[in-house]
C-alpha cells in the first residue's frame, strides 16, 4: 500500500513541475486574488493547484483573459487533479484489501464453522413444506432453505452475497415446523462475508453513515441523574423525525421514574445486520460496559431494533419497551377519542414480544380506535421492507414486502411502533406511529408531522443541547473520540 502512495506522490510532483514551468515559479508563494490576499501553503497537491489558478486570475487585465487556455486548464486542474489522485488511491486501496489474505487460520475456522453447521442442518432437516415461501420474495426467488443450502457454496464470495437479499426478519424461522432457523444462517453467512473481506461496503454507505453520525460526539449524549439505575434509549430515528414526541415521552417517563436517565446514541444494529461483527462488538460493547459501570440496570426502549439488540447483547440489563410502561398511566397523557378503524403492523424484531404487542393494542382501544388485524401480524408479522438493508441491493424485494401490507391493510391506516417501519410503509400506504396518536401529532387529514433529512440531524442535535442544560443530569458524556 505504501508503494502505491509513493507512486502517486511522484506522479503528482511531476505534474506540478510541468504545470509551474509554464506559469512561472515566482508566482508560487503568493496567491493573487481580487483582494490581493496572501495564502500559506498547507500541502500538496491541492494547495499548489489553487495557487496556480489564483496566480492566473491575478494576472487577468481584460475580459477576454477569463477565457485564456492557461486559466481554463488551471481551473480544471483545481477540481480534477486532486479528485483523480484520491480516486486512484481509493481504487488501489480497495483492490489491495480484497486480495489481503486472512492472517489467523484458527480464527478463520471459527468463523466458518457456524455457517457450515447451520447449512448442513438445514440441508438435512428442511422438508421443503414451502411454509416459508408463501410471503417471502427472497425465498420465492431462490427456493426453499434446503435448496439454497444444497445449491450454493458459501465459501465463495458470489454465494455469500446472496445472504444480503434476505431481510433477516425471521418469518421463515417463525413458521418452520421443523424449528429450523434460516434467518440465523443467512446472518452467519453475512458475518463470514465481512470477515473474508468480500462485502462492498460502498453500497451501504448511506446507512453506515447514518450509524456513524449516531455514534459521533456531535449527536451522542448520555445524561444520568443521581441515583439513576434506569435509562430511556429512544434510538436514532424517533428523536430525529419526532423531537416533540421524544421530549414529551421522556417527560412522561420521568414523572413515573424521577431518576430516569437519557441516552442518545446508536445501538449499531446496521453493522450487526450487515455482518460487521468486529465493529458492532466494539461500539455496542463500549456503550454496554459504560452503562453497567454507572449502575444502570434497566433500559427502556422505543425502537424495536434497539430493543432486540439490548436484549440479545446487553447482559445484566433488563430491557422493556416504553409501550409497556405507557400502558399503565395512559390517562395522564390525554388521549384523543376520535374513533375509527385501524390495523397494526408489528415490527419484525418484536415478533415474539407478546407483551408489547398487546400493550399497543390496548392503548388503541383506550383511544376508541378499533383494530382490524392483517393476515401477517404478531408472531407471523412480515418485514416492512426496510429490514436487512435489502433495498440497497434488491429494491424490488423491499417494495414487494411493503406492497403486501398495502393489500392486507385494505384501505385502513396502519399503526405501528417503529419509526423506521412508519416511514417505509408511508411510501405505499398511510401509516402512523402509535406515539403520533398518543401525543396528538396527527392533523385533521390523518397525517403526522414528521421531519425528514437533513433536518432530522438538526433535531437530534437540538434535543441533545436542550438536555445538556437540564440540571437533572449529574453525569454527562458523549462517545469517546477513539474507542
pLDDT digits (tens, 9 = 90+) for 253-266: 999 999 999 999 99
Reduce the secondary structure of 367-413 to three states and give it as a string.
CCCEECCCCCCHHHCCCCCCHHHHHHCCHHHHHHHHHHHHHHHCCCE
What local confidence, expressed as pLDDT, does residue 100 receive? 33
Query: What number of residues does the chain have?
Result: 483
Q: Are 216-328+454-477 and 331-438 the same fold in CATH?
A: yes
pLDDT tens digits, residue range 382-420? 999 999 999 999 999 999 999 999 999 999 999 999 999
Among 483, 456, 471, smallest CA distance to 264 is for 456
pLDDT of residue 443: 86
Task: Give CATH for domain 216-328+454-477.
Answer: 3.40.50
DSSP string spanning 142-178?
A: H--HHHHHHH--TTSHHHHGGGGGS----HHHHH-TT
Per-residue pLDDT of 69-84, as tens digits, reads 555 555 455 455 555 5
Q: What is the pLDDT, as a whole number, of residue 106?
A: 31
Percentage of the chain beyond pLDDT 90 is 67
85 vs 91: CA distance, rounded Å = 10
Question: Quick one: cell of 449?
Answer: 408531522
Lowest mean pLDDT: which of 91-105, 300-314, 447-461? 91-105
Which has the minimum average pLDDT: 23-37, 182-196, 454-468? 23-37
Evaluate whether the domain defined by 331-438 bears CATH number 1.20.120: no
CA pair distance 103, 93, nearest whole angstrom: 18
Please say if the pLDDT value at position 15 is more than 80: no
Q: Are 53 and 71 in contact (CB under 8 A)?
A: yes
pLDDT per residue as tens digits for the range 172-228: 999 999 999 999 999 999 999 999 999 999 999 999 999 999 999 999 999 999 999
Place of cell 447482559: 315
Task: Flag the least confident range among 148-152, 348-352, 437-441.
Answer: 437-441
What value does the mean pLDDT take over residues 344-369? Answer: 94
Domain boundaries, the chain: 2-98, 105-195, 216-328+454-477, 331-438
Per the listing, cell 430525529 goes with 240
Residues 6+ apart with CB under 8 A from 166: 138, 182, 183, 186, 388, 390
Cell of 331: 390517562
Residues forming a β-bridge with 413 = 342
The whole-number average pLDDT for the span 103-124 is: 62
Q: Which residue has the higher pLDDT, 44 or 122?
A: 122
Average pLDDT, the chain: 82
What's the CA gap between 452 and 480, in Å, rounded? 28
Amino acid at each position: 500500500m505504501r508503494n502505491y502512495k509513493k507512486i502517486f506522490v511522484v506522479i503528482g510532483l511531476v505534474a506540478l513541475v510541468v504545470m509551474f514551468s509554464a506559469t512561472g515559479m515566482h508566482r508560487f508563494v503568493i496567491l493573487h486574488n481580487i483582494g490581493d490576499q496572501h495564502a500559506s501553503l498547507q500541502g500538496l497537491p491541492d494547495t499548489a493547484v489553487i495557487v496556480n489558478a489564483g496566480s492566473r486570475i491575478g494576472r487577468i487585465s481584460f475580459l477576454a483573459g477569463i477565457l485564456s487556455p492557461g486559466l481554463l486548464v488551471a481551473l480544471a486542474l483545481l477540481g480534477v487533479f486532486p479528485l483523480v489522485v484520491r480516486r486512484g488511491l481509493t481504487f488501489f486501496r480497495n483492490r489491495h484489501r480484497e486480495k489481503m489474505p486472512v492472517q489467523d487460520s484458527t480464527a478463520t475456522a471459527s468463523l466458518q464453522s457456524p455457517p457450515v453447521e447451520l447449512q448442513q442442518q438445514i440441508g438435512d432437516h428442511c422438508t421443503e413444506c414451502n411454509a416459508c415461501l408463501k410471503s417471502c420474495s427472497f425465498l420465492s426467488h431462490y427456493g426453499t432453505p434446503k435448496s439454497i443450502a444444497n445449491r450454493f457454496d458459501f465459501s465463495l464470495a458470489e454465494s455469500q452475497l446472496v445472504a444480503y437479499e434476505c431481510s433477516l426478519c425471521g418469518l421463515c424461522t417463525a413458521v418452520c415446523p421443523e424449528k429450523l432457523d434460516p434467518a440465523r444462517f443467512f446472518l452467519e453467512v453475512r458475518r463470514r462475508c465481512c470477515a473474508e473481506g468480500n462485502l462492498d461496503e460502498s453500497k451501504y454507505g448511506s446507512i453506515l453513515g447514518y450509524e456513524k453520525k449516531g455514534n459521533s460526539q456531535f449527536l451522542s449524549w448520555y445524561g444520568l441523574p443521581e441515583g439513576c439505575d434506569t435509562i430511556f434509549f429512544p434510538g436514532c430515528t424517533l428523536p430525529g423525525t419526532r423531537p416533540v414526541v421524544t421530549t414529551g415521552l421522556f417527560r412522561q417517563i420521568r414523572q413515573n421514574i424521577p431518576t430516569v436517565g437519557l441516552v442518545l446514541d446508536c445501538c449499531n444494529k446496521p453493522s450487526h445486520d450487515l455482518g460487521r461483527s468486529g465493529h458492532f462488538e466494539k461500539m455496542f460493547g463500549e456503550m454496554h460496559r459504560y452503562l453497567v459501570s454507572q449502575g444502570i440496570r434497566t433500559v427502556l426502549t422505543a425502537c424495536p431494533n434497539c430493543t432486540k439488540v439490548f436484549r440479545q447483547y446487553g447482559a445484566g440489563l433488563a430491557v422493556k419497551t416504553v409501550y409497556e410502561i405507557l400502558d399503565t398511566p395512559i390517562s395522564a397523557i390525554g388521549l384523543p377519542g376520535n374513533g375509527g378503524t385501524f390495523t397494526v403492523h408489528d415490527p419484525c424484531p418484536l415478533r415474539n414480544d407478546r407483551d408489547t404487542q398487546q400493550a399497543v393494542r390496548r392503548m388503541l382501544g383506550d383511544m376508541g380506535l378499533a383494530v382490524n388485524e392483517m393476515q401477517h401480524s404478531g408472531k407471523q408479522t412480515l418485514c416492512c421492507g426496510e429490514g436487512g438493508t435489502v433495498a440497497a441491493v434488491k429494491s424490488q424485494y423491499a417494495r414487494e414486502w411493503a406492497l403486501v401490507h398495502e393489500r392486507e391493510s385494505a384501505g385502513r391506516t396502519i399503526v405501528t411502533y417503529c419509526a423506521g417501519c412508519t416511514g417505509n410503509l408511508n411510501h405505499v400506504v398511510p401509516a402512523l406511529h402509535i406515539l403520533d396518536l398518543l401525543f396528538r401529532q396527527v392533523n385533521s387529514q390523518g397525517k403526522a408531522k414528521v421531519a425528514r433529512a437533513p433536518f432530522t440531524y438538526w433535531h437530534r442535535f437540538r434535543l441533545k443541547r436542550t438536555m445538556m442544560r437540564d440540571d437533572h443530569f449529574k453525569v454527562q458524556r458523549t462517545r469517546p473520540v477513539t474507542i
